[in-house]
Amino acid sequence: MRYMDVPDDPDMSEDPDPLTRLDQELRERVAGEFRRTAEEDEFTARKAALRHRTLAQVAYELLSRGDTVRATIGAESIRGVITHARGTLATLTLTTGTEFHLNLAGPLVLDVVERSTTGGRTREPYGPETFVARLRELELAEVSIEAVVGFGDSRPSGVIEAVGEDHLMLSGETTHFIPLPWIGAVRRLDP
């Protein structure tokens, strides 16, 4: 035997002591159980975080990442990058520069169609916090808008006469009264 009870024979490197083998086996089992428990806890925590997220938080995340997003409202599909996200409002800017103001409480589906590789934007410290607030800004500006509703292929347009408690009144060729929950997005028609 050499120093510290190391066997002279290289073939005798395994400790024949069954208690040492049992100790090693138990340690590996316990470590495996800890890893599985940690993975399960991580999965549960991630799932809980996803369950408590709102669509406004998702829109803010898409704004921050700069992903290309498709908003589907009824039969309409709009593709662009979210450039504003607060509360029930998200602004989707197309490559042409056209802005669609999305009603996150409305009839729409958001899809990530392309992940950004360069990063997105930070949230502006100003701007409307709700879809209704954006409609009121457009009402004060007295501009023509087009509403994208969640059914059919009708796109009512005109100048906003009033943003009511539960509806939008547009004056154009005819007067339109549109329930706010039916509106998926609006866009400005005036340059």
Q: What pLDDT shows up at residue 97?
A: 93
Q: What pLDDT shows up at residue 55?
A: 92
Distances 170 to 38, 61, 99, 101 between C-alpha atoms, Å: 56, 32, 19, 16
Instruction: Determine the Cα–Cα distance for residues 38 and 34; give it in Å rounded to an integer.
Output: 6
Q: Give the chain's residues under pLDDT 50.
A: 1-2, 12
For the stretch 45-62, pLDDT in tens is 878 877 889 999 999 999
Q: What pLDDT shows up at residue 122?
A: 74
Q: What pLDDT shows up at residue 175?
A: 95
Q: What pLDDT shows up at residue 101?
A: 97
Q: What pLDDT shows up at residue 1?
A: 47
Q: Does domain 55-188 correspond to CATH entry 2.30.30.600?
A: yes
Cβ–Cβ contacts within 10 Å for residue 99, how many?
Answer: 17
Q: What pLDDT shows up at residue 31?
A: 79
Q: What pLDDT shows up at residue 170?
A: 96
Q: What pLDDT shows up at residue 126?
A: 78
* Annotated domain spans of the chain: 14-50, 55-188
Q: Please tell me the pTM assigned to this model.
A: 0.77
- The secondary structure of residue 1, as a DSSP letter, is -
Cβ–Cβ contacts within 10 Å for residue 182, how many?
Answer: 18
> Going by DSSP bridges, is the β-strand pair 144-149/183-188 parallel, antiparallel, or unpaired?
antiparallel
